[in-house]
Structure 1
Amino acid sequence: MEKMSRALERAKMLVGMEVDEEVPAEAPSFFDDFNRQCTLTTQQRLYGFAVCLAAGLACTFLSILVFFNPIKFGITFTFGNLLALGSTAFLIGPKRQFDLMLDAVRIYATAIYMASLIIALFCAFYVHSKLLTLLAIILEFGALVWYGLSYIPFARSMVSKIFYACLDTEF
């Protein structure tokens, strides 16, 4: 148990959190109240993260079984992505997760990713168009990759340079 506590403290330091973070004296926001109500032990956080991530990955991989029905595929794939994204809130807390998502470095990637999730669900639930759902899932996957790359230093610029070099037609 002590090793898990130390590992969580190290993970908090890696993502820029202070280990003994104090609650600000300002008027409490929605996320401050939510964080205070959601006090979990280190072990509970790790279990929540593991279960949520496993369920998200299972939904994402099981969506391949219904690939030829794009509406079912869109729903399971998107639900799996939402669970996997929510799993990190167990580790760093929902407020910190929200703050990281709205950081200046990844605000556009977050907006495009969230919009693609909504578009995919809208196309699957309301439009019932297989082609639009499939296009929305392709957009969602690309946005997920771009959003994930925003957490790796210099990854997006490296991928952009590689694509530019591959698509450059001048010899």
Structure 2
Amino acid sequence: MEKMNQAYEKVKMLVGMEVDEEAATSADDPAGNSFMDEFNRQCTLTTTQRFYGFAICLAAGLTCTLLSMLVFFHPIKFGIMFTFGNLLALGSTAFLIGPKRQVNMMLDPIRIYATAIYLASMIVALFCALYVRNKLLTLLAIILEFGALIWYSLSYIPFARSMVSKVMLACFDTEF
């Protein structure tokens, strides 16, 4: 019965519902109050508010991403809009699962490298678009960002990255 309660609490945490404080602290970090714990306690939202926040943030992110296609031939504007859309879409999931859970999932050993490459590619794209203002570098950074976004997204699907890796190796294998 204890395992059922723990599983139920984890499901509630995953969808962003309120969990019992003692269960949450015993399951997570017993070290005490960190900044993220305090931030999560101050940012309590109802389930309806979480869904609205998620929907609005995701819609804004997708809108920015789609609008970036209109300025595709202006790589600097495209890079800014595309990256801002990605940031909004990435932040939308924090409404559902909470910012602490979002950061913990992003720093999970399974996806730490995908997260690092994805965030670094966003920074490089914004740097090339805003500071360097080089169209070719911005376009290359956006291609890197798009690839990193796909790889990062695949990290949430079980066995997806290994399957894609095997397919790519089979497609580009030069031995007969």
User: What is the TM-score of this pair, normalised by structure 1?
Assistant: 0.89
Report the CA distance between 1:13 and its aligned residue. Answer: 5.2
CA separation of 1:163 and 1:15: change in aligned 2, threshold 3 A: farther
Structure 2: runs of 5+ lacking an equivalent = 1-7
2:55 match: 50
Report the CA distance between 1:90 and its aligned residue. Answer: 0.2
Query: Which one of 40, 44, 62 corresponds to residue 45 of structure 2?
Result: 40
Contact in 1 for aligned 2:62/2:85 (Cα 8 Å): yes
2:19 match: 20
Report the CA distance between 1:36 and its aligned residue. Answer: 0.7
Report the CA distance between 1:154 and its aligned residue. Answer: 0.2
Letter matched to residue 144 of structure 1: L
- Percent identity, aligned pairs only, is 72
2:151 match: 146
Residues in 1 aligned to 2:20 and 2:94: alpha-carbon distance in whole angstroms = 16
1:136 match: 141
Contact in 1 for aligned 2:54/2:92 (Cα 8 Å): yes
Letter matched to residue 98 of structure 1: V
Residues in 1 aligned to 2:132 and 2:47: alpha-carbon distance in whole angstroms = 43
Once structures 1 and 2 are overlaid, which stretch shifts more, 41-50 or 27-36? Answer: 27-36
Report the CA distance between 1:136 and its aligned residue. Answer: 0.2
CA separation of 1:141 and 1:11: change in aligned 2, threshold 3 A: farther
Structure 1 stretches of at least 4 aligned residues deviating more than 6 Å after TM superposition: 16-19
CA separation of 1:18 and 1:47: change in aligned 2, threshold 3 A: closer
Coordinate RMSD, CA, aligned:
2.2
User: What is the TM-score of this pair, normalised by structure 2?
Assistant: 0.87
2:3 match: none
Is 2:81 the partner of 1:76?
A: yes
Contact in 1 for aligned 2:111/2:152 (Cα 8 Å): yes
Q: Deviations over 1:98-127 (max 9, x none)?
A: 000000000000000000000000000000
